[in-house]
Chain A
Amino acid sequence: MGKLIALHSYKGGTGKSYLSVNLATIYALQGKKVCLLDLDFRAPTLQVVFEPKGLKCFLNSVLEGTISVRDCLLDCSDKLENKGKLYVGFADFSTEAIREMVTKGKKWEIEALQRIYKMRKELLDDMKFDIVLVDTSPGIQYLSINAVVASDVAVVVSTLDDADIMGTSKMLKELYETFEKETAIVINKAIGGAEWADPDKNKVVEDLQNKYKEAVIGILPCFCEVGRLKRGDLFVLQNPKHPFTEMLRVIAAKLDLF
């Protein structure tokens, strides 16, 4: 049985989309059948990474109930030089579509939860994906919470920014705890993290675990070369021996254990 993993964060700019693309790549290179979905309808990103040509069908329509998720997945395995199986579902990135999603009402969002559950069943039970990664919008919004609720594991990406830590703790306590969600925390863009000795790193992990009351499964330091590479050039594919890739592999292995 496959697993649906939702990537979420309290604040924007934590690197959710970047991590979801690179985690999907790692899983696919391991031989797993992977599906990556862009449910960040307010700021879609995956079209920049995979540059789909002539795309006519988006996840927006799946949540409207007009098409099945199967019909809007694009086989992007060639992006991995066909070393793995990776399918991607895109969010409509036109300005009109983004504006429309922002103005959706409560009724639509209620139906969206039911459709996300239906989509989950289709991807895991019928299409037999091993891993479905869902990139969501930051913050406490219905659509993101819908994806988190329907997931098997929620990965909360946080930075070491005080405001982010405070907001993330509150979100975990008031929302994730209520849903008894299996949750893992990943700290991204840790400034100076690459120079930390093991005891320093362990102390940071311990402090954050005390604050979050959830497992911190990885701290990814801020590497300039990671930020420098274009999103389209999948970092973990281009740099298989870089510490960032190694750390992300450890995170992927820890997520397998959930």
Chain B
Amino acid sequence: MSKTEIDTNALSKMEKEFSSMRIYLEQVLTLQKEILEKLAKETEKRIDEEEDGSSEGGLSGGISVAVLLKLPDHLRKTMIALSKLIEGRADEVANITGRARAIESGYLNQLVRLGYVKKVRRKHQIYFAVESGA
């Protein structure tokens, strides 16, 4: 077997491996997206149930230890980080939590939908702030 044939075979093998890796990564991304959507829905459902049931630890008076304890772990971490900043961007929150900016952006938007955080736009930049007495 000549050197060129070996190189061609190796290249074709690598291409196949890259292709299967790409498919695998796409599947992981799709699953991740589904999980995030499910978590967001579940959180909103839980908060809705709390609002219907009792005001204890609900949205009536802003963020509290009781509310923090009821938030799922991933959102609690984001909320605590934002509380330290009082107001900040997703990348600043990511610096505190050690997670990716895009992930924190997603979580902060979930907290906005839940009514714990408000969004403020300043010169093309989005800031998030803890709702006081949401």
Q: Which A residues are within 8 Å of any B CB, using their own CB?
A: 106-107, 109-111, 113-114, 117-118, 120-121, 142, 145-146, 149-150, 178-180
Contact of A142 among B65, B73, B76, B86 (CB under 8 A): B65
Q: Which residue of the partner chain A has the closest CB to B55?
A: A106
7 contacts between A and B (CB under 8 A): A106-B56, A109-B64, A110-B64, A113-B64, A121-B86, A142-B64, A179-B68
Known: A121-B86, A179-B76. A114 touches B130 (CB 8 A): yes
Q: Does B27 contact A (CB under 8 A)?
A: no
Whether A110 lies near B63 (C-beta < 8 A) is: yes
Q: Is the interface of B mostly helix, strand, loop or mixed?
A: helix
CB-CB under 8 A from A145, the residues of chain B are 65
A111 to B62, alpha carbons, bound, how many Å?
A: 7
Whether B61 lies near A118 (C-beta < 8 A) is: no
Q: Which residue of the partner chain B has the closest CB to A140?
A: B65
CB-CB under 8 A from A178, the residues of chain B are 69, 73, 76
Whether B83 lies near A110 (C-beta < 8 A) is: no
Known: A120-B84, A178-B69. A114 touches B77 (CB 8 A): no
Further contacts, 11 of them, CB under 8 A, given A111-B133, A121-B85, A121-B86: A106-B61, A110-B63, A113-B64, A113-B83, A114-B63, A114-B83, A117-B84, A117-B130, A145-B65, A149-B65, A180-B73
CB-CB under 8 A from B85, the residues of chain A are 121
A252 to B3, alpha carbons, bound, how many Å?
A: 66
Whether A117 lies near B83 (C-beta < 8 A) is: yes
Q: Does B30 contact A (CB under 8 A)?
A: no
Whether B65 lies near A117 (C-beta < 8 A) is: no
A120 to B64, alpha carbons, bound, how many Å?
A: 16
Whether B61 lies near A111 (C-beta < 8 A) is: yes
CB-CB under 8 A from B56, the residues of chain A are 106
- Provide the B98-110 mask, 1 if CB < 8 A to any CB of A, else 0: 0000000000000
